[in-house]
Amino acid sequence: MANKEIIVHSDGIFHGLPTYPCTTGTQNLTALVAGATGLSGYHMVKVLAASQRWKKIYCLSSRPPPQNFFADLGDGSRKVEHLTIDFLRQPDQIAECLRGKIERIDYAFYFSYMQPPPKGDALDLWAHADELAKINREPPFPPVKILLTSPPAPQVSLFKNFIEGLQLAELKPRRFMLQTGSKHYAFYLGPAAIPAFESDPRVTLDDNFYYAQEDALISYCKLNGSQWTVSRPTYIIGAVRDGSLNHLIGFGVYASVQAYMKQPLLFPGDYRAWDREQHQSSGLLNAYFQEWLVLSESTAGEAFNIHDGNSFTWGRLWPYLARWYGIEWHPPEKDDSKYRTIKITLPTTPRGYGPQATMRSTFSLLEWSLRPEIEQAWKEIAHRYDLVLNPFDPLYRARIFSFSDSAVIGDGAMTLSMRKVRKYGFFGTVDSYQSIFDSLREFSRLKMIMPPIMDEFVE
């Protein structure tokens, strides 16, 4: 391979970010961001809006943007236009919403996502694979009814409706970027091969809608002469007003209430969960990466893992989190008799061999949230700090706290290889712990949690 010089730069806490040549191919660009008000989509909009490369950014979401949407974009908001479009509508209706409002698209970024409301424990969030798949892509797909406990979801596909709507509106992007995630490797079903490589075979133990989305994307791009790329982050760090599917919200609420009640930060999992090595993916770094992804010719027709570039454990975060809120912390419970165990029972594991996964905990954040004194404490906190979030609302409680539980309870490592993305030339990185601290500060600015007592991150 020939030698190649790559110039990188830093932007705040983000380092090793790419630079771009000033050519006609990287100027006056037009982007479409689907799912623009969510956790990933809004960070994508922020990165694009801050760059002179992008002349126009069309933002699509099913609901109007929150109050801070444009204000937080600064001067870049002048080139941003939002369209409220529900992708549960038929493709011809979506096309009608696009016609006359969008003349052309150079690059499309897709982040739209719907999560069926969870109803139970830490496992429950990902336990309804068939229902999740039916919402997020178009059936038919051979269902494996292993964990399905909810009634069938509407036979509709967000993704296919959207790409068919684009087709009917005669909008053809040069490159289409689809964000999926580490669920591609089925870590939630038990031990998978680690670190996960992009070339790992698909896991067919349940109905993983990411596979169907990728197949639909490839077919769409072949039909339209567009290029495609896929990005696979893991648990995403970031703060947005519109997006409750965010594991940090549950931890922020937990730390806020424990601090208000002057109680220590307890850890719900065991020592294997405390020490298990995994990765986090900061939303802003993902967005820097995804911009680079679509602007790099060599990445066309490829899927890439992405994360912050460093290892992460809950055992490292817990003392930080307690310090940020001025309270004590306790490690996992030593007495094995105080644990209850959930075991995933499937024909095999995602990697095809070895023991099944177990999830041991002494409590869950969802259970903690059901205690009357906890909800009362939050009401007092919300009144004192003029907060806009009610995480105990029946519409949000299970979604918020089950997602946090799913992140922190479990015994399996969840690591993604970055060898491919480094080989292709992306070297961006960020300290996950500092990124989490900054996100908690941002949540407090957005009036969603009580502010940490510290103004700056200290290692």
pLDDT digits (tens, 9 = 90+) for 161-198: 999 999 999 999 999 999 999 999 999 899 999 999 99
pLDDT digits (tens, 9 = 90+) for 209-238: 899 999 999 999 999 999 999 999 999 999
* pLDDT at position 135: 38
**Both tokens of residue 193?**
């091969």
Q: Is a pLDDT exceeding 50 seen at residue 300?
A: yes
Using CA of residue 45, residue 51, residue 53, residue 54, what is the dihedral sign?
Answer: positive
Q: Phi then psi for 21, rounded to 5 degrees?
A: -70, 150
Nearest CA to 118 out of 358, 405, 389, 368 is that of 405
Q: Is 338 helix (H, G, I), strand (E, B) or coil?
A: helix
Q: Is a pLDDT exceeding 50 seen at residue 83?
A: yes
User: So what CATH class is 17-238+281-305?
Assistant: alpha beta
* pLDDT at position 424: 97
Q: Is a pLDDT exceeding 90 seen at residue 139?
A: no
The amino acid that residue 415 corresponds to is T
Q: Is a pLDDT exceeding 70 seen at residue 438?
A: yes
Q: What does the alpha-carbon distance between residue 23 and residue 201 come to, in Å, rounded to a whole number?
A: 38
Q: Span 53-69, mean pLDDT?
A: 95
Extract the runs of DSSP E, i.e. beta strands, from 219-325: 227-232, 236-237, 281-282, 302-305
Q: What does the alpha-carbon distance between residue 435 and residue 432 come to, in Å, rounded to a whole number?
A: 5
Nearest CA to 278 out of 428, 422, 409 is that of 409
Out of 43-52, 239-248, 280-289, which region has the weakest mean confidence (pLDDT)?
239-248
**Both tokens of residue 256?**
């806020």
Q: What pTM does this model have?
A: 0.91
Task: Give me the chain's average pLDDT, please.
Answer: 89
Nearest CA to 186 out of 312, 306, 344, 419 is that of 344
Q: Is a pLDDT exceeding 50 seen at residue 146?
A: no
Q: Is 60 helix (H, G, I), strand (E, B) or coil?
A: strand
Number of helices (H), then strands (E), in the chain: 14, 13
Q: Phi then psi for 224, rounded to 5 degrees?
A: -105, 0
Q: What does the alpha-carbon distance between residue 300 and residue 324 come to, in Å, rounded to a whole number?
A: 42
Nearest CA to 443 out of 319, 287, 313, 283 is that of 283
Q: Is a pLDDT exceeding 50 seen at residue 267?
A: yes
pLDDT digits (tens, 9 = 90+) for 90-130: 999 999 999 999 999 999 999 998 765 555 444 444 344 44
Domain boundaries, the chain: 17-238+281-305, 247-277+312-412+431-445
* pLDDT at position 207: 85
Distance of CA 4 to the CA centre of its chain: 32
Neighbour count for residue 19 (Cβ, 10 Å)? 10
pLDDT digits (tens, 9 = 90+) for 363-416: 999 999 999 999 999 999 999 999 999 999 988 899 899 999 999 998 888 999
* pLDDT at position 30: 98
Q: Is a pLDDT exceeding 70 seen at residue 142?
A: no
Task: Map tokens 């799912």 to a residue.
Answer: 35
* pLDDT at position 117: 55
